[in-house]
Amino acid sequence: MNKDYCLRGTAKSEKVRFFIASTKELVEQARIKHNLSPLAAAALGRTMTATAMMGINLKGKDTITIVFKGDGVLGNVIAKGNSDGEVKGYVDNPEADLPLKNNGKIDVSAGIGFGNLYITKDMGLKDPYVGTVPIVSGEIGEDITEYFYSSEQTLSAVGLGVLIDIDYSVKSAGGFILQLMPGAEMEIGAELDDKVQNLPPLSTYLIDNTPEDLLEYFFGYDYKLLDKKNVKFHCQCNKDNFKSALITLGKVELEKLAKDDEIEVVCQFCNEKYIFDNDELLELVKLI
């Protein structure tokens, strides 16, 4: 049974908006599907957690895609989510790893490197909204905080944590987004900032504590819970989708591929494999 979920609501007389999530199973599924190194699991896990929380605020069939395009060893780190709490993602170099930092922590910052963060919201309009900011630290949370400030003019605190166990499985994962609403007194921001600074490392905190515990830590009982939604790793890929993609290659390219007995197509987001034999490829050629 999936135990991951995200809380969404307001606090401090609706002057603060919050998203708080537990994502251990989501990140573990990604780790297994992509055979992620601890570094890749930490980086993708943080990105997918942020995607889950931001996706909860969407409507209908809207989607959000977060891309860290840095010059670190991981290459691109990509996650996509929707309003139903469904998230998927991948890393260009899933087996890439680096030595731990001096404090024993995984060096996500070096793994991401410097470059740009792209956040795309597809809300069914002619053109999706794309926000771009420079990667300020590569720690994921700080970069998304910068995105909210620069692209959405919203003061935010973003905390993301993934703890990898000694057997490389995910021991804990989750995060929070706290945002000041227009008109909120700066004293509220200062109070929350103090609480964020005094919070133990989030990945450690979430071993024995729930999102509800974190909610109480930040706001006591001065909050209004608007939604509690399950979060899970989910990819909507199927063989028919890949048939459409293969057709776009054109007749000549498909005829070349059909000379082989079969070809294997792999979904980047979930690593699912689809086999197309010679006859299936020739049938696709007839459709062009």
Mean pLDDT for 60-66 is: 94
How many Cβ atoms are within 10 Å of 288's Cβ, its own excluded?
12
Token readout for 63 is 């989607």
Structure tokens at 270: 């979930």
pLDDT tens across 69-100, in order?
999 999 999 999 999 999 999 999 999 999 99
What is the 3-state composition of the chain as percent helix, strand, coil, each rounded to the nearest 5?
35, 30, 35
Q: Which domains can be identified in the chain, with CATH numbers?
A: 5-233 (3.55.30.10), 239-286 (3.90.1280.10)
What is the pLDDT confidence band of residue 257, given thresholds at 50, 70 and 90? Answer: confident
Under a CB-based contact definition with an 8 Å cutoff, are residues 21 and 49 in contact? yes
Could you tell me the pLDDT band of residue 279, with boundaries at 50, 70 and 90? confident
Asked if residue 160 lies in contact with residue 194, where contact means CB atoms within 8 angstroms, the answer is: no
Q: Which residues of 78-89 are buried (b: 16+ CB within 10 A; e: fewer)?
A: bbbbbbbbbbbb
Q: In Å, how far from its chain's centre is CA 32?
A: 16
132 pLDDT exceeds 90? yes
* Spatial separation of the C-alpha atoms in residues 164 and 12, rounded to whole Å: 34
Query: How many other CB atoms are found less than 10 A from the CB of residue 137?
Result: 14
Confidence of residue 1 (pLDDT cuts 50, 70, 90): low
Which secondary-structure segment (H or E) carries 28? helix 24-34
Percent of the chain clearing pLDDT 90 (strictly above): 81
Reported pTM: 0.93
105-132: burial string, b at 16+ Cβ within 10 Å, e else:
ebbbbbbbbebebbbebbeeeeeeeeee
Residue 236 in tokens:
């909507």
Ranking 164-168, 252-256, 257-261 by mean pLDDT, the lowest is: 257-261
* Whole-Å CA distances, 183 to 11, 170, 225: 13, 40, 20
Q: From CA 288, how far away is CA 285, in angstroms rounded?
A: 6
Residue 280 has a pLDDT of: 87
- Given a cut of 70, whether residue 38 has pLDDT beyond it is yes
Contact 180/154 with Cβ under 8 angstroms? yes
